[in-house]
Structure formats: structure tokens, C-alpha cells
Chain A
């Protein structure tokens, strides 16, 4: 069972366009994270959202955590070729006094100059 569903799986857009990537679950998470992975590298954390309804901005990237803490979105404004990569969401759940992450399968973004 896939706890975190990301959509779309693939996205190819022209430079300057806007896009939104979604991460959905039926489970409640204590926090939700977005990572970006570039070719030949491991994923790197972009942002963590903790509170339901929270919105965080990182330059042209806007991250939102759903009110019920089950879903999240990543919006990129005026995409640039440097945004190309694999975007992964990960949800943290607590158990036995610690927190553990579960990853979605990712959205592969290609921004064409």
C-alpha cells in the first residue's frame, strides 16, 4: 500500500510556466517534507511543513500543508531549467517516541528552455 501518492508522475513544461505538484495520503502526518533530487545525486531537503494549513515560500517555490495534515502541494512560479529534477514528498509519523519518514515515488520535472 502506497501511503503517499504524488501526481503527476512526469511533468514537462516550458521555461516561464507555472506548475503545481501534489502529494496526497489517507493518513495524517506530523509533518511533511519536500526533497529535490538532481541526476547522479541523492535527494536533498527543500522544506518541512508542520502545521495544518501552513504555507512556506522558498523564492519561486510555494509549499502548502493541507488543513487535515494529509496532503501537500508544491507550486513553482515561472519555472526555470534549473528547477529540473525529481521532487519527492515525505511524511513523518510518530511511533515509540520517535519519528519516521515515508517517501512518495516522486514527480519528475523537466523545464525546457
Chain B
């Protein structure tokens, strides 16, 4: 199993507060992703990174920012949390070296914004 650790696993926060979720990998994979998963919407890509300090937006990036200062860490920040950002957030990594590339997922962070 790829070593992907998400922290925290659960968080309750108040509307308007900033929140940072952390993803840590031990596999030295090039790509890292943040998804949110909501009933009826499946996995939706928020942001992704293709290298240190190289990031790009996904389909639901508004209200979120990311940073990747080291290969192993990818941070997702909700600048001012809103109730619509209540969701389960998954981090994934991918080595991206060949057609058989595989995505490895963390166990998810359940975020509740009240």
C-alpha cells in the first residue's frame, strides 16, 4: 500500500474560519490531487499538483487554495469555510510514469462546516 496520510480525519469548523487539510505521501509520486466527494456528485477534482510548487485548478477550485513546498506534502486550504464546503475530502497520489499508472488514495477527511 502507498503511504498516504491525511490529517485531520475529522474536523468541525465554523463558517468563515480558514481550514487547512494536509496530505502526506511516502512514495515520491509526482502527482498529487485533492478531491471532494458528495452524494450525487462523485469525485470532483479541486486542485492538483504535478511537482513541487507546480499546481493547477480542477473543476471546483473556487474557495480553495493549495500549496506543495515539498514532494511529500500537499496542503488544501479553505480560505473562509462555508457550509457548502461540508464534504469528504480525499487526497490521491499518482506516479504518472506509464500507462499502468495507478492512483492511491488516502482514507479521507470528513469536514463539517457549521
Using a CB–CB cutoff of 8 Å, the interface residues on chain A facing chain B are 6, 9, 30-31, 33, 35, 40-45, 48, 50, 88, 90, 92, 94, 98-101, 103-106
Contacts and interface: CB of A to CB of B under 8 A. Distances in A.
A65 B107 CA distance: 29
A43 B41 CA distance: 15
Main secondary structure of the interface of A (DSSP, over half): strand
B73 interface: no
A8 to B, nearest CB: 13
Contacts of A48: 99-100, 102
B43 interface: yes
B92 interface: yes
Contact of B100 (A9, A31, A103): A31
B84 interface: no
A42 B94 contact: no
Interface residues on chain B, size class = 20 to 34
Contacts, number: 68
B99 A42 contact: no
A105 B50 CA distance: 22
Interface in B41-73: 41-43, 45, 50
A30 B98 CA distance: 9
A31 B99 CA distance: 6
Given A98-B97, A100-B94, A101-B94, A45 B43 contact: no
A14 to B, nearest CB: 24
Interface string B33-45: 0010000111101
Contacts of B35: 103
Given A42-B92, A88-B43, A106-B42, A101 B30 contact: no
A104 B41 CA distance: 10
Interface string B81-114: 0000000001010101111111101111000000
B75 to A, nearest CB: 18
A92 B99 CA distance: 7
Contacts of A40: 107-108
Q: Name which of B40, B41, B96, B103 has the most chain A CB atoms within 10 A of its CB.
A: B103
B90 to A, nearest CB: 6
